[in-house]
Structure 1
Amino acid sequence: MKQVQKLEEEVWHMSAIPIHQTITAVKNGGIMLGAFDQDKLVGFSYGFTGFDEKQTYLCSHMLGIHPDYQDQGIGAKLKEAQKRAAAEKGYELIIWTFDPLESRNAYLNMNKLRGICSTYFENCYGEMEDGLNKGLATDRFKIDWWINSDHVANNETIDEILSLEGTHLFSWETVNNGLPKLGDIDQGLAAFSESKLPLLVPVPVNFQDLKKADHDLAIDWRLKTRRIFQQLFKTGYAVVALQKTTQLPVHYYVLTKLESLNI
């Protein structure tokens, strides 16, 4: 647990969770897993028990990888290990949150792990001062990972969804130094109608770079995508995948009807 605290500080540059809290959580249904290089902790996942008046689930609170070990697939391996450990304890659902404008996290959470999102938390954690969140509302997607479902077990699920031609409702353009800007969303929201085809919503390829280059533009993306997802979720849609592009400054979230998924 002391190693976890040290790694927390190295990854997020903020105060670590007290050891007495993590130990108590793990002794009461929580799960703490570590990835090691010899004796050195280089990654961890931490979750504790949650309950929403309907069922018990694992709330996956933190997934941290040492900066020198990122982009090596360690995060995905930790999540798979977490899924196995959770299943052994009898959990069927694991939840966690992430910033919907962080497309790299979206690809792991949805395309690789096959989590889904139909819940949007507005300014979930209030004002935060760490490097990733400072100066911007902490809006979050809530990921539902139904670890025993056909949607998660079937490796072809996401490929089938991505193979369909999606509907583009919202336009974007490039502005300062090639940065993407989302256009007027009112027309797209007004013209929205239920479709058998997936809906596509653009998000920046690298939101942190965009925020550093143009903070007002970052706020514009936050406020517009907030409205989009809140309205689409109310009409029964869920985000199920990220469609990557190769030459564009945006990727696309893919949304389908929640009721159509095998969860």
Structure 2
Amino acid sequence: MSSVDSKILAIAEDELAAAQESARITMRALHSAQEAAEASLLLDEVWNVGRAGTTQLEPGLIVALAHAGNYVAGAFDSEDDSLIGVTIGFFGEPLGKMMHSHIAGVRHEQVGRGTGAAMKLHQRLWCLNRGIRQMTWTFDPLIARNAYFNFNRLGVNALEYFEDFYGQMRDGVNEGQASDRLLVSWRLDLPAKRTLLGEDALGRAVHALDLGEHGEPVLSEVPRSTEVAAVRIPADMETLRGDDAELATRWRMAQRDAMAGLLADGWEVNGFLKQGVYLFTHPDDGDFAEDEISTAEEAGPRD
């Protein structure tokens, strides 16, 4: 693994320190069996797996991942040193150059204080200290807060849309829904080079997916000559799943058709507007650098 420039490391250290101070937390690596057991319980709480009789990650697996040199860390409250967040990743191909962030979660009552951002910055510094310049992860593209955090705050690139990536999941968050995921990449040693489109771009965008009069998904064809394509999603998919599972499933299938279709046709995600809209542009429009760039807002449940 090649070393990373000291200036880049210094910036990463400063940004992590500021994020930890703002969130009032301290990030630490987890190693012991006791820490792994507490981390496992926290993840089960975040994903509400109790009634399913399963667990997100067994403590023994967490210990093994940490012992093998992978990334296993926790966010601890600065006042009482309680564990409020956990994030875990492992090495992927190309070996020595990439880490895949598998899971990250923050206790529900602690969401909103900036812990998710601090966890990602801790992951970044951990990777850079080991000469790793790229991180990937998947997330549910129907969760608006995570989409905004990933694309607009971190500057990730969308790589691929996966249909039902994990198969049927039994946790309380994902149960009964197809586990479609969007794979994204974060280039850790370079700033994002994308020029994000603003809200004014909606005026010239053609919607591949939009919100109907009664909250239903409406699909449309997007001509290749279009400058900007848009994919709108519900503002709060998690609540919709609980209120109307059938409508939530319709949104999943519609987003799959729209987003997977656009990506397959050569469109790239430019960013995500707070109104709940993905914006797509053509790669030859100059909005993306050749390098693969940049996971999630406040870590409520997410991959």
Q: TM-score range by the shorter chain?
A: 0.7 to 0.9
Q: Give distance in 1, aligned partners of 2:237 and 2:74.
A: 28
Normalising by structure 2, we get a TM-score of: 0.74
Normalising by structure 1, we get a TM-score of: 0.84
Match of 1:50 in 2: 92
Between structures 1 and 2, the one with greater strand share: 1
Q: Give distance in 2, aligned partners of 1:27 and 1:164.
A: 50
SS at match of 2:201: coil
The one-character-per-residue Cα deviations of 1:75-114 (angstroms, maximum 9, x if unpaired) are 0111011111111111111111111111111111111111
Q: Give distance in 2, aligned partners of 1:208 and 1:111.
A: 21
Q: Give distance in 1, aligned partners of 2:213 and 2:187.
A: 38
Percent of aligned pairs with the same residue? 27
Match of 1:59 in 2: 100
Counterpart pick for 2:237 among 201, 207, 218 = 207
How many correspondences in the alignment? 243
Q: Say yes or no: does 1:113 pair with 2:154.
A: yes
Match of 2:82 in 1: 40
Query: Which structure 2 residues correspond to residues 42-191 of structure 1 after superposition, within 5 A?
Result: 42-51=84-93, 56-151=97-192, 157=194, 160-162=196-198, 165-166=201-202, 167-170=205-208, 171-175=210-214, 180-183=215-218, 185=219, 188-189=220-221, 191=222
Q: Give distance in 1, aligned partners of 2:185 and 2:225.
A: 23
Counterpart pick for 2:223 among 192, 196, 221 = 192
The higher relative CO (CA closer than 8 Å, separation ≥ 6) is in 2
Q: Give distance in 2, aligned partners of 1:199 and 1:95.
A: 25
Deviation at residue 234 of structure 1 after TM alignment: 1.1
When structure 1 is superposed on structure 2, of 6-15 and 73-82 the one drifting more is 6-15
When structure 1 is superposed on structure 2, of 252-261 and 4-13 the one drifting more is 252-261
The one-character-per-residue Cα deviations of 1:60-80 (angstroms, maximum 9, x if unpaired) are 011110112112111011101
CA shift in 2, pair 1:241/1:55, >3 Å: farther
Gaps of 5+ in 2: 1-35, 50-54, 292-303
Q: Say yes or no: does 1:6 pair with 2:45.
A: no
Match of 2:6 in 1: none
